[in-house]
Amino acid sequence: MNPRTGTLYAGETNYDLEQRSYAGTLHYNFTKKFDIGAYVEHKSSSLYEGADDADPSIFSVYQPYFPGNPDLCFPDPQGFLPIVPGLGGSRYFSIGGYVEYDARNNDDGLTKGGYVYARVASHDSTADESDPGYNDFGWVQTTFDMRGYLPFFSDRTSLAGRYYTDLNARKGGSSIPFYSLPKLGGNSTLRGFDTYRFTGSNSVLFQLELRQTVWKFNGDEDRGLDVILFGDAGQVWGKGYEIPVCPPFATFDPGIGEDFDTDNFEVDAGVGFAVRLSKGFGLRFDYGHSNEEDTFRLVFARGF
């Protein structure tokens, strides 16, 4: 229980997030497969009470986080404060660059080839310190996405693999809005877990799929029915802000969950059916199983 508000901590909360952004990108295609570019963006975010009453409002469970605010430090026997950065909204400016190499081939049957994407971006708050809900946001983000597709003896069987990581380093004592943190769980990441089940300042994800075409529509290589066996493994670590604790009252270690640990990987496995309608579009029906739940999903895509 939160000793300040008397409310219970909740596994899920309800809120409405509204965002507005202005962005521009300058890029150059060296070849049809290789692209390099830079971008700028200004994003404004606001949070409101949500419309779904199934879960408690985030405002009834958490309080805004303000770096250096002495009011956040109070004797809690558990040493934990129900606070999140960005609850009062955020405004920040981003500048970054990326490289992309796309050698995927969908011309005949299942995808073949490979794909690599890397991006580095810097984010800094543009809100005035006198604004309600002001927070000192600032972090450097590094994203890497690598995918490979290996055919087995024919265009009807393929092994697809993906490695993805999103790393965010806070600038000094700055923090990261919780809705801008990497998330795992859902249609395209940990498919045996609920959407956005895991959130942290860093994430890593491994995915593997064995794809088999069992039926071609009228003999067309681009259209058919595929059966897929898949498995995912990933984890998040880091909180995106400094946890205030109040010795000698607190017994909570603020370093818990801050470091990568191979023992913290979450895994799932499942089976899917994909209806390929064209070279770039299809429908997927996935069933995923994890130690927490079984999920059934309809995805309007061929997969990663």
Name which of 112, 114, 147, 121 is nearest 33 in CA terms: 114
What is the enclosing helix (H) or strand (E) of 206?
Answer: strand 202-216
* Residue tagged 């593997």 (tokens): 208
pLDDT recorded at residue 285: 96
CA separation for the pair 78, 44 (Å, rounded): 34
Displacement of CA 66 from its chain's centroid (Å): 24
Q: Are strands 138-151 and 157-170 parallel, antiparallel or unpaired?
A: antiparallel
What is the residue extent of each domain of the chain? 16-299
pTM, 2 dp: 0.88
Each residue's pLDDT, cut to its tens digit, for the chain (304 residues) gives 343 443 444 468 899 999 999 999 999 999 999 999 999 999 999 999 988 888 889 988 888 877 655 555 554 545 455 778 998 889 999 999 999 999 999 888 889 999 999 999 999 999 877 665 567 899 999 999 999 999 988 888 999 999 999 999 999 888 999 999 999 999 999 999 999 999 999 999 999 999 999 998 887 878 889 999 999 999 999 988 877 666 555 566 667 788 999 999 999 999 999 999 888 788 999 999 999 999 999 999 888 9
Q: Is the separation of the CB atoms in 297 and 272 below 8 Å? A: no
pLDDT recorded at residue 80: 54
DSSP state of 60: H
Fold classification of 16-299 is Porin (2.40.160)
Q: Are strands 282-289 and 294-299 parallel, antiparallel or unpaired?
A: antiparallel
